């Protein structure tokens, strides 16, 4: 069995064209989400929550730092794993987090109608479409980072 700290494939170098396409997808999804009016703080909460579920240390580190840089509070970041039991999140955030969990854990009963309906009622179809892409992208990045065993701790948020 391989240790958690062993090096794996450098996918960025070994599959540069595909890696570049993934980065373009992420950039396109982020820009479309912003243009649709989805708040950066909401998107970072979604990215953190999916990364918590998937156990992606690299993405947890990155998106917690990005969330803090965007003004997110420590209290909300720490409580995110128990968002349903806290008063710290509004209805938009709760709808986004419920959808994030349903999409991330799609094998546990797909995306329940009640989760989808609540999300579409809160966000409308245009914003919901962009939210689905944001959730899909972070889940894909989690899988790449976990498989490649990317090491957290070296990321610095951009200004």
What is the pLDDT at residue 2? Answer: 47
* pLDDT tens-place string over residues 24-35: 999 999 999 999
Q: Quote the tokens at residue 103.
A: 């999409």
The helix or strand, by DSSP H or E, that contains position 16, with its residue range, turns out to be helix 16-35
How far is it, in rounded angstroms, from Cα 143 to Cα 68?
24
- CATH architecture for residues 13-148: Up-down Bundle (1.20)
Q: Which of 133, 142, 152, 143 is nearest to 30 (CA)?
A: 133
Which residues of the chain register pLDDT less than 50?
1-2
For residue 55, the SS3 value is coil
Kindly report the pTM of this predicted structure: 0.93
């Amino acid at each position: 069995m391989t240790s958690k700290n062993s090096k794996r494939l450098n996918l960025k170098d070994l599959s540069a064209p595909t890696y570049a396409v993934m980065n373009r997808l992420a950039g396109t999804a982020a820009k479309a989400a912003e243009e649709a009016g989805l708040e950066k703080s909401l998107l970072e909460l979604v990215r953190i929550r999916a990364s918590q579920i998937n156990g992606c240390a690299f993405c947890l580190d990155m998106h917690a730092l990005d969330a803090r840089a965007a003004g997110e509070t420590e209290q909300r970041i720490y409580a995110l794993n128990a968002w349903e039991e806290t008063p710290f999140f509004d209805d938009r955030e709760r709808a986004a987090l419920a959808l994030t969990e349903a999409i991330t854990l799609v094998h546990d009963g797909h995306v329940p109608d009640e989760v989808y309906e609540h999300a579409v009622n809160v966000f409308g179809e245009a914003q919901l479409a962009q939210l689905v892409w944001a959730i899909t992208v972070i889940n894909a990045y989690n899988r790449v980072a976990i498989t490649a065993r990317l090491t957290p701790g070296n990321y610095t948020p951009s200004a």
